[in-house]
Each structure stands twice: as structure tokens, then as C-alpha cells.
């Protein structure tokens, strides 16, 4: 092959009605660990969304009339096919997103596989309700049916993981879908499309339209034949989606940002708490909506905690994401890296202390990664609760540590942000753990652990962190329409 060939860019195509469709214009997609453009993503708009919605509408009667068991078998087949190509998917996700190959291999892709298996199973076990009214000679029962064409919009931080967390329940329930992944991380969704036919997913059941939020995303949100939108992304975008969809009275599921507290009482088991809190702060470069970014430590153990926490954070190696010994990969984009760095600068300007990472320690990168979007895990202390670093979602490898005195005080401070997604509480006192968990304004509370998930149970945020929940029962309810039927005998 010529040089031109060996340097050829990966070119993605939309997947509509079971066929790959070339696009007339494209967006450049970067490899975050090198800063090179390596892929071209279709810049779709109204026309492509229109074609995808039509394909999804056409496929709906057949797909929705299949039995849950038939759909379940197809979902399981798709899970097997993705699992068979796990390594290729993991390599692609790491290159496209900047995350470490280890994280993609052990978290992203296994979870995408599990999403399909989980909903393939759970769809077989739902029961509807029935009540009797003997005096009226009536029985009432509920019946659930798929809604139609579901619009699914996902972010860049856990690309295939979060997209399949929507596709799997949507199609398990009998809907057909038009999905729009983030324009920055579209490759693994495109790879999945290549497996759909072999898995037995009929043409038109899963359509993927690539492009920006403003063009492709908004066209989907505004399409009159898409009655429900499941969205994961930022609170700002969710507000826009809510406005745009309001004239159509669409059903919305919104999984949004967080500013998640970790509350560490003086009786906590620090040997578990410290490594877990480092992980909850910096896993996936801190680009997980559930990442810890405010750490409240009880005064008596504050200095010991800080010393040990910084020492542990410094153990995390930043560098080439394809090196399996690396813990922190590249951030998603140049702009995002700049934004995250600016938060650290603002904290410093306000008088906070940066204990390690950005601006303090030297980041040395291999020659091939000099232009990548890297940043060291950064710990900030002595930052005020009102500071933007303690109020706004940073979504990078930055965490703030502050001291507190009493239970009452820390609950108030932990709740003192607009978000309410996830919190962690560390204490050996079981009564306190329950008390604090009940009073935190947070959709998820983990005590003495982090990111341990049972997909059966509701997932989602309070306040500006979202509307609605996802999970076995919650996703089933979101992706189906319920009817109450009364029979008089
Ligand atoms: P984003 O809101 O910028 O984009 C998310 C998706 O929405 C992308 O596909 C984007 O193209 C699309 N989009 C943007 N504008 C749109 C519009 N006007 N209409 C329709 N679609 C539009 O978010 P992001 O930067 O990709 O992701 C990071 C955010 O996602 C963070 O705030 C993070 O907390 C949040 N997140 C939340 C969860 C959760 O489950 N709660 C999970 C992961 C990420």
C-alpha cells in the first residue's frame, strides 16, 4: 500500500434500514492520545434523521409483534457477537475516547455485552397488575406495549456502554430505535451495527445516525414521529432538549451531570476508603458522571487522610492509553482539557492549594503522545464551598478535599449544590450510615464502596442531575406505554 493508503482515515457511515449509507459531509474525529485526526464521522442532519425514523417506523409492526422470548434470543446473540470481538471493541474505544485499554477491556465493553444479556433476561420476567372489584363484578388489569420509535442520545465518556444501556431495553420492549452517539466517540456504535444482521436484528430495528447534537441530535428531538427521547449528557443540553421537545409533549428520560460528594467520618476504614476514593475521583480520567469531586473529611483525620490520599493519587500513572500498565489516559478533547485546567487555575487564584498534579508535578509523556490531551490526577485542598470548583461539574481528573466537623453540617454542605446524582459515605457506624444516606439529596448513595451496581435497581439523579430512572423495572416502564383494562363479568 502507498503512504496515502496506510494513513487512510477511518470513514464511518450511517446505518439506516439495515444498510450502511455514505454521507455527503463529515466531521473530523481525533485520537485524544496523539491529537491526530484519524476518523471521519458523518455530519448528518434532518434528511438522514428523516430516513432513519422512517426505517424505524416501518420495522415497528413486525418487531413489536415478536414475543419477548424471540427478542431475548436476538439480544443474547448480539451480546455473544460483541463479546467475541471484545478486544477489537476495546482497542477502538480506547483509541477513540482516550480511555485506557485496561478500562475499556474490563469496564466499557464487558458492560455493553452485559447490558444486552441483562435486558434479554429481565424482559422475560415482568408481570403486570390486576385488581378485583367483586361488588361491581369487575376485574382490572394492566397491559404494557412498546411505544414506537425511540430516540436515543448518548455522551462521549462511556460510549458503547451508555448507548447499549439504552438500545437494549428499548428493543427488548419491542420499540425500534434511532440512536445518535456523541460525534466525538462514534466508532464502536458503528462497529456494533456491523453485527446486527448476524445477530438476527431485522433491518430498521436499530438505526444509527452520526453527527453533532445541534444538527442530528436536534432533528431527532424535534421529529414528530419519535414519541420518546432517552438522553444521557449534560444538564445544559437537557434543558435545550426539554424546550425543543415540549411542543410535542415527548416522554423524556434525562441522565445528567453530577457534583458527587464523598463523606468520610473519623471512624472510616481508611485502608479501603483511600484507594477507593482515589479510584472514584480519577477512574476514566474523572470522566464518569458518578466520579467523586468533593471529598468531605472529618476534622480529626483530615491531615492524615490528605497525606495518604495524595500519596495514593501520585501512584496513578498517566500516559499512553494503549499501555496496559497506565491508569490515566487522555481527556476527550483539547477544549475539554483546557476547560478542566482552567478550573485548577481558578481554584489557585481563589487561594486554594493544589497538592499534586496539574501545575505542581511534571507530566512526562512518550514521544508519540506529546500532542495528546493529558493531565495528571490533581488534588485541591482549602477550597471554599462557594468556589466554582466545589459547585460546577468539572468532569476531569480533579478532586477537592475539605474538612468538616459534624454530621449535621456535612449533610447540609454535601446537599449544597444544584446536582444530586451519586454520593459515597464512609463510616463503620451503621446507624449513622443509614441516617446520612436517607438525608442526602442523591439518586444513588454508596456506603463503604463505590460503583457497585445492581442493574435491577433504579439508576438516575435528583435535582439538576436528571429526570426519571433507568434499571430493569424503570427502563421497562419508560420504554412501554401502560393501559388499564376493566372487564365486567
Ligand atoms: P453533551 O450534553 O454535550 O452531549 C451529549 C449528547 O447530546 C451528544 O450525543 C451530543 O451530540 C448531543 N447533543 C448536544 N446538543 C444537543 C441538542 N441541542 N439536541 C440534541 N442532542 C444534543 O454531554 P457530553 O459532553 O457528551 O457528556 C458529558 C456529560 O454527560 C456530563 O455532564 C456527564 O455528567 C453527563 N453524563 C451523565 C450520565 C448519567 O448517567 N447521569 C452518564 C454519563 C455522562
Dump pLDDT digits (tens) for 362-389: 999 999 999 999 999 999 999 999 999 9
Dump pLDDT digits (tens) for 169-206: 999 999 999 999 999 999 999 999 999 999 999 999 99
Dump pLDDT digits (tens) for 61-119: 999 999 999 999 999 999 999 999 999 999 999 999 999 999 999 999 999 999 999 99
pLDDT of residue 414: 98
| Residue 195 included in any domain | yes
For a substitution probing ligand 1, which of 233, 283, 394, 419 has the most ligand atoms within 8 Å of its CB?
233
Q: How far is CA 74 from CA 77, 146, 192, 461, in A?
A: 5, 17, 14, 31
| Residue 459 included in any domain | no
Counting Cβ atoms within 10 Å, is residue 486 exposed (0-12), middle (13-18) or buried (19+)?
A: exposed
Shared domain check, 224 and 275: no
Determine the structural domain holding residue 381 and report its residue range: 261-447
pLDDT of residue 206: 99
> Averaged over 400-412, what is the pLDDT?
98
Shared domain check, 341 and 329: yes
Count of structural domains within the chain: 2
Instruction: Report percent pLDDT > 70 for the chain.
Output: 99
Predicted confidence (pLDDT) at residue 212 exceeds the cutoff of 70: yes
> By alpha-carbon position, which residue is closest to atom 26 of ligand 1?
155
| Residue 143 included in any domain | yes
Ligand 1 atom at minimal distance to the Cα of residue 459? 40
| Residue 3 included in any domain | no
Shared domain check, 399 and 296: yes
| Residue 454 included in any domain | no
> Averaged over 386-405, what is the pLDDT?
98
**Catalytic-role residue among 48, 93, 255, 287:** 255
Predicted confidence (pLDDT) at residue 236 exceeds the cutoff of 50: yes
| Residue 313 included in any domain | yes
> Averaged over 433-440, what is the pLDDT?
98
Dump pLDDT digits (tens) for 331-366: 999 999 999 999 999 999 999 999 999 999 999 999
Q: Answer for the pair 102, 456: CB distance below 8 angstroms, yes or no.
A: no
Ligand 1 atom at minimal distance to the Cα of residue 461? 41
Shared domain check, 284 and 194: no
Q: Which residue from 211, 113, 195, 99 is spatially nearest to 153, judged by alpha carbons?
A: 211
Q: How far is CA 37 from CA 21, 115, 215, 326, 328, in A?
A: 22, 31, 21, 23, 21
| Structural element, H or E, at residue 196 | helix 187-199
Shared domain check, 111 and 26: yes
Shared domain check, 265 and 191: no
Phi, psi of 470 (to 5 degrees): -120, 150
Q: Tell how far the Cα of 193 is from the centroid of ligand 1, in angstroms.
A: 21
| Residue 4 included in any domain | no
Distance CA 279, CA 125 (A): 35
Q: Tell how far the Cα of 434 is from the centroid of ligand 1, in angstroms.
A: 32
Shared domain check, 379 and 242: no
CATH code, domain with 440: 3.40.309.10
Shared domain check, 326 and 242: no
Q: Tell how far the Cα of 413 is from the centroid of ligand 1, in angstroms.
A: 27
| Residue 301 included in any domain | yes
pLDDT of residue 8: 87
> By alpha-carbon position, which residue is closest to atom 23 of ligand 1?
233
Ligand 1 atom at minimal distance to the Cα of residue 233? 30
> Averaged over 288-297, what is the pLDDT?
98
Distance CA 296, CA 478 (A): 35
Q: Tell how far the Cα of 158 is from the centroid of ligand 1, in angstroms.
A: 11
pLDDT of residue 395: 98
> Averaged over 306-310, what is the pLDDT?
98
255 is catalytic: yes
The reported pTM is 0.97
Shared domain check, 281 and 143: no
pLDDT, averaged across the chain: 97
Shared domain check, 397 and 349: yes
Predicted confidence (pLDDT) at residue 6 exceeds the cutoff of 90: no
Shared domain check, 382 and 326: yes
Helices (H), 331-417: 334-349, 388-391, 407-414
Q: Tell how far the Cα of 386 is from the centroid of ligand 1, in angstroms.
A: 25
Instruction: Report percent pLDDT > 90 for the chain.
Output: 98
pLDDT band at 3 (very low <50, low <70, confident <90, very high): very low
Distance CA 185, CA 175 (A): 25
pLDDT of residue 159: 98
CATH code, domain with 81: 3.40.605.10
Q: Which residues line ligand 1 (CB under 6 A)?
A: 153-157, 162, 180, 182-183, 212-214, 217-218, 221, 232-234, 237, 240-241, 255-258, 289, 393, 395, 421, 461, 466
Shared domain check, 249 and 338: no
pLDDT of residue 2: 41
Cell of 58: 416501518
Amino acid at each position: 500500500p502507498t503512504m496515502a493508503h496506510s494513513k487512510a482515515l477511518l470513514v464511518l457511515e450511517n446505518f439506516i434500514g439495515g444498510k450502511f449509507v455514505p454521507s455527503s459531509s463529515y466531521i473530523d474525529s481525533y485520537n485524544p492520545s496523539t491529537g491526530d485526526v484519524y476518523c471521519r464521522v458523518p455530519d448528518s442532519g434532518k434528511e438522514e434523521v428523516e430516513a432513519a425514523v422512517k426505517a424505524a417506523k416501518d420495522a415497528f409492526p413486525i418487531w413489536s409483534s415478536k414475543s419477548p422470548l424471540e427478542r431475548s434470543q436476538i439480544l443474547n446473540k448480539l451480546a455473544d457477537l460483541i463479546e467475541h470481538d471484545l478486544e477489537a471493541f476495546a482497542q477502538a474505544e480506547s483509541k477513540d475516547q482516550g480511555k485506557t485499554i485496561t478500562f475499556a477491556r474490563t469496564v466499557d465493553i464487558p458492560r455493553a455485552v452485559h447490558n444486552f444479556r441483562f435486558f434479554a433476561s429481565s424482559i422475560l420476567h415482568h408481570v403486570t397488575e390486576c385488581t378485583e372489584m367483586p361488588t361491581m363484578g369487575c376485574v382490572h388489569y394492566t397491559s404494557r406495549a412498546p411505544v414506537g420509535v425511540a430516540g436515543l442520545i448518548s455522551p462521549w465518556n462511556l460510549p458503547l456502554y451508555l448507548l447499549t444501556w439504552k438500545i437494549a431495553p428499548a428493543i427488548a420492549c419491542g420499540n425500534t430505535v434511532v440512536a445518535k452517539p456523541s460525534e466525538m466517540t462514534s466508532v464502536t456504535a458503528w462497529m456494533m451495527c456491523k453485527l446486527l444482521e448476524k445477530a438476527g436484528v431485522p433491518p430498521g430495528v436499530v438505526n444509527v445516525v452520526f453527527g453533532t447534537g445541534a444538527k442530528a441530535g436536534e432533528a431527532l428531538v424535534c421529529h414528530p414521529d419519535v414519541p420518546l427521547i432517552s438522553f444521557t449528557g449534560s444538564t445544559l443540553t437537557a434543558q435545550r432538549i426539554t424546550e425543543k421537545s415540549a411542543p410535542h409533549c415527548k416522554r423524556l428520560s434525562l441522565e445528567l451531570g453530577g457534583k458527587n460528594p464523598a463523606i468520610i467520618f473519623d471512624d472510616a476504614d481508611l485502608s479501603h476508603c483511600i484507594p477507593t476514593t482515589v479510584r472514584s475521583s480519577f477512574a476514566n480520567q474523572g470522566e464518569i458522571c458518578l466520579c467523586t469531586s468533593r471529598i468531605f473529611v472529618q476534622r480529626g483525620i483530615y491531615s492524615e487522610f490528605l497525606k495518604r490520599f495524595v500519596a495514593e493519587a501520585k501512584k496513578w500513572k498517566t500516559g499512553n492509553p494503549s499501555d496496559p500498565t497506565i491508569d490515566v489516559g487522555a481527556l476527550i478533547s483539547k477544549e475539554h482539557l483546557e476547560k478542566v485546567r482552567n478550573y485548577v487555575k481558578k481554584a489557585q487564584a481563589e487561594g486554594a492549594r493544589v497538592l499534586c498534579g496539574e501545575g505542581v508535578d511534571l507530566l512526562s509523556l512518550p514521544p508519540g503522545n506529546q500532542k495528546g490531551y493529558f493531565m495528571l490526577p490533581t488534588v485541591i485542598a482549602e477550597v471554599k464551598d462557594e468556589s466554582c470548583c466545589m459547585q460546577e461539574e468539572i468532569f476531569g481528573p480533579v478532586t477537592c478535599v475539605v474538612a468538616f466537623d459534624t454530621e449535621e453540617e456535612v449533610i447540609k454542605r454535601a446537599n449544597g449544590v444544584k446536582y444530586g446524582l451519586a454520593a459515597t459515605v464512609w463510616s463503620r457506624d451503621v446507624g449513622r450510615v443509614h441516617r446520612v444516606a436517607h438525608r442526602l439529596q442523591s439518586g444513588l448513595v454508596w456506603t463503604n464502596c463505590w460503583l457497585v451496581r445492581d442493574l435491577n435497581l433504579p439508576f438516575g439523579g435528583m435535582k439538576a442531575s436528571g429526570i426519571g430512572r433507568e434499571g430493569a423495572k424503570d427502563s421497562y416502564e419508560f420504554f412501554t406505554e401502560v393501559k388499564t383494562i376493566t372487564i365486567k363479568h
